[in-house]
């Protein structure tokens, strides 16, 4: 192997050793580790052939500064921090981890649905506060026989729908990019718009990407259309729900509660007013982070990087598939 064949991979953020070992086992690959807290990574990519990315803004300037770049592999499936158009213009694939984290995030959405319905945090607090009488408050509700509106019927949304069905929920689905037949074949009811669906739903869960079309798709008007007994779960991206409008709806009792894994600003400010509300269950963007999932994601994104170098990149994992046909 000549030195000119060496590929330089920049890993931005910490990944599980399972994937790192795959990269480091290759004699023709050199790995450098970069911190997502370094604001100047765009100035350090002149020799980089591949980027393996947890979270960092991969903007046009960084891409322009990386003339050798042939792959950006996201350690996840969301890519709202990546300038996809700039990559596509250069013919560079953006790869994600496909289904590696879908079951994990779907489980977390169910955890949030159950915790909001059952008041998990309040039960725990009542026990620690010697408040046995809490059991008379009748604050908890059931998922069974309730209507669940799943927004976004992709890898995660389809799994959440199945889990909801297992709890006896009537599952409605809004996804303009999935045929009604496919939604019906999954035993769900397709809905064409939020307007008529929101007033019917007892639980709403969001599984779309964040983009110009979905930003603030749940805002003040949509929250006002929901039942006051309904709850909202977001494991997608903070920006899909208008956070100030959600705060107001939760404060005013316009909806019953929310389960949130993702926020407008991450990490959120310590004085985020959501943290003072009892009808919110929170988690630190952890829906896809379990021991098992970190191994799968780390391996898959390392394989995506090596696949791009070797000409064996799995096309199912590529977001901008048009760059593959252009080759």
Binding residue for ligand NAD, selected from 214, 298, 300, 317, defined by CB under 6 A:
214
- Check if 33 is active-site: no
Q: Is 271 in the site for ligand NAD (CB under 6 A)?
A: no
The greatest distance separating any two alpha carbons of the chain, rounded to the nearest whole angstrom, comes to 74
Query: Are the C-beta atoms of 308 and 68 separated by less than 8 Å?
Result: no
The structure tokens 């252009």 sit at 326
- Look up 237 and say whether it is catalytic: yes
Residues 6+ apart with CB under 8 A from 119: 139, 140
- DSSP β-bridge partners for residue 11: 33, 52
Cα separation, 80 vs 56, in Å, equals: 10
Nearest residue to ligand NAD, scored by beta-carbon proximity: 154
Residue 75 known to be catalytic: no
* Residue 125-154 contact track with ligand NAD, rule CB under 6 A, x = bound: --------------------------xxxx
Out of 125, 135, 251, 266, pick the active-site residue. 266
Report the alpha-carbon distance of residue 1 to residue 176 in Å, rounded. 50
Instruction: Report the residue number, 9 or 262, with the smaller CB distance to ligand NAD.
Output: 262
Phi, psi at residue 266, to the nearest 5°? Answer: -130, 130
Q: Contact with ligand NAD (CB under 6 A): which of 119, 147, 172, 208?
A: 208
Q: Which helix (H) or strand (E) holds 110?
A: helix 102-118
190 binds ligand NAD (CB under 6 A): no
Minimum CB separation of residue 184 from ligand NAD in Å reads 15
Pairing of strands 147-151, 50-53: unpaired
Residues binding ligand NAD: number (CB under 6 A): 32
Is residue 74 close enough to count as binding ligand NAD by CB under 6 A? Answer: no
Q: Report, in Å, the least distance between residue 204 CB and ligand NAD.
A: 12
Where does this chain bind ligand NAD (CB under 6 A)?
76-78, 101-102, 105, 151-157, 174-178, 207-210, 213-214, 235-237, 261-262, 285, 287-288
């Amino acid at each position: 192997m000549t030195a000119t064949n060496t590929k330089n991979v920049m890993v931005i953020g910490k990944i599980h050793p399972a994937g790192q070992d795959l990269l480091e086992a290759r004699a023709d690959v050199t790995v450098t580790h970069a911190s997502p807290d370094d604001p100047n990574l765009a100035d350090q990519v002149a020799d980089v052939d591949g980027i393996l990315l947890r979270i960092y803004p991969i903007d046009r300037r960084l891409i322009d500064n990386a003339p050798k770049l042939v792959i950006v592999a996201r350690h996840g499936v969301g890519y709202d921090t990546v300038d996809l158009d700039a990559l596509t213009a250069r013919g560079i694939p953006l790869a994600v981890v496909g289904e590696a984290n879908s079951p994990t995030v779907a489980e977390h959405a169910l955890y949030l649905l159950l915790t909001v319905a059952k008041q998990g945090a309040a039960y725990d607090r009542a026990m620690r506060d010697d408040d046995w009488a809490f059991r008379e408050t009748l604050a908890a509700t059931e998922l069974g026989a309730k209507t669940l509106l799943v927004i976004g019927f992709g890898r995660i949304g389809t799994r959440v729908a199945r889990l909801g069905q297992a709890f006896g929920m009537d599952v409605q689905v809004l996804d303009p990019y999935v045929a009604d037949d496919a939604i019906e074949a999954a035993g769900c009811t397709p809905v064409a718009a939020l307007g008529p669906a929101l007033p019917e739903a007892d639980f709403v869960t969001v599984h779309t990407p964040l983009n110009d079309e979905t930003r603030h798709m749940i805002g003040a008007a949509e929250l006002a259309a929901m039942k006051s007994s309904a709850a909202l779960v977001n494991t997608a991206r903070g920006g899909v729900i208008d956070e100030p409008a959600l705060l107001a709806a939760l404060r005013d009792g316009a909806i019953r509660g929310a389960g949130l894994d993702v926020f407008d600003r991450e990490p959120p400010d310590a004085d985020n007013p959501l943290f003072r509300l009892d009808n919110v269950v929170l988690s630190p963007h952890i829906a896809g982070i379990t021991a098992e999932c970190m191994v799968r994601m780390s391996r898959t994104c390392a394989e995506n990087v090596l696949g791009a170098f070797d000409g064996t990149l799995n096309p199912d994992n590529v977001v901008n598939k048009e760059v593959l046909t252009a080759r």
